[in-house]
Amino acid sequence: MATDAQQKWNATSLPDLTGRTAVVTGANSGIGFTAADALARAGAHVVFAVRDVERGGAAAARVQGSTEVRRLDLADLTSVREFAAGWDRPLDLLINNAGVMMIPEQRTRDGFEMQFGTNHLGHFALTNLLLPYLTDRVVTVASGAHRWGDQRIDFDDLDRSSGYDPRGVYGQSKLANLLFVLELQRRLVESGSPVRALAAHPGYAATNLQSHASSAAARVFMKFGNRFLAQDDRAGALPTLYAATQDLPGASYVGPDGLGEMRGAPTLVGRSAAASDPAVARRLWTASEELTGARFPQDVGTRG
């Protein structure tokens, strides 16, 4: 039986995307796969940007449409640079979807805390490196977790070297996603680029993302929530697809229209005050440039 979200606006509502190219990070499973599948069915050529090319190939083989698989490990800036260096054609759509959630403490190959390093820094570097090829928009998948507690960017300890709270670190990484979109859009406008930066969140969607939580109690709770409270990954992908294809203002944030933005049809939603602060967004951008070595290019869209 179709959900209300699927009855109001669903993947069949997508425009014809024939001739367009999209890169979807983490496209081998969950919301990323569902979004990639929908885009391909609508006619787009979809690049599965995945850490495990074997799994990515198996996922792409299930899609009806034009696809290819390329290796991308967002927890390794060398891999990010190699992916970008191998790109040589116009890119209409970049969907920054891949991520990790509330995992035990780990470090990226470059020594960053894994959630901040993957969810924010990896996508920050990838986006800036691909911007010369982009022609339409960047959609970054954020989360309602950016509101958890009194969520702020801790510039004195971005890597949480003085203590590790899986939940708090995840929330900070999702707050960083929204601040990234805010500052990216400002820079795009300032440069005169027609490219737009948008954000989306899936509400509470049942995917395998929650299965890697650091505590057994959290995993049990999420397993219960996935079964009885969450919407499926098809409905969870709708805000991403909506942000990727509808005529929306830059820096828009799309999420479900239901109670608490947990489920429902895609619509424009609000964000916390901390996620709306342009000064903090600029400061985070500068810090991210220093950490990754990736900077906003002067030739945005010139190779597109």
Where are the domains positioned within the chain?
4-289
Please compute Rg for the chain using Cα positions: 18
Average pLDDT of the residues in 197-225: 62
Strand partners, 21: 45
Give the integer Cα–Cα distance in Å for 296 and 176. 17
pLDDT of residue 215: 53
pLDDT exceeds cutoff 80 at 9: yes
Residue 224 has a pLDDT of 42
Q: Average pLDDT of 13-17?
A: 95
Which active-site residues does the annotation give? 170
Query: How many Cβ atoms sit within 10 Å of the Cβ of residue 38?
Result: 26
Place of tokens 């109690």: 217
pLDDT at res. 220 = 46
- How do strand 266-268 and strand 253-256 relate by DSSP bridges? antiparallel
pTM over 0.85: yes
Mean pLDDT of 212-238: 60
User: Each residue of 155-195: pLDDT tens digit?
Assistant: 998 877 778 999 999 999 999 999 999 999 999 999 999 99
The mean pLDDT value of the chain amounts to 90
Please give the average per-residue pLDDT across 245-272, as a whole number.
94
Q: What's the confidence (pLDDT) of residue 233?
A: 87
**What is the dihedral sign for C-alpha 293, 120, 110, 291?**
positive
Do the beta carbons of residue 164 and residue 173 sit within 8 Å? no
Between CA 241 and CA 38 the distance in angstroms is: 8
For residue 105, what pLDDT is reported?
94
Whole-number Å distance between alpha carbons of 100 and 285: 21
Q: Is the pLDDT of residue 228 over 60?
A: no
Q: Which CATH number fits domain 4-289: 3.40.50.720, 3.90.79.10, 3.50.40.10, 3.30.70.20?
A: 3.40.50.720
Q: Are 275 and 179 in contact (CB under 8 A)?
A: yes
- At residue 58, the 3 state secondary structure works out as helix
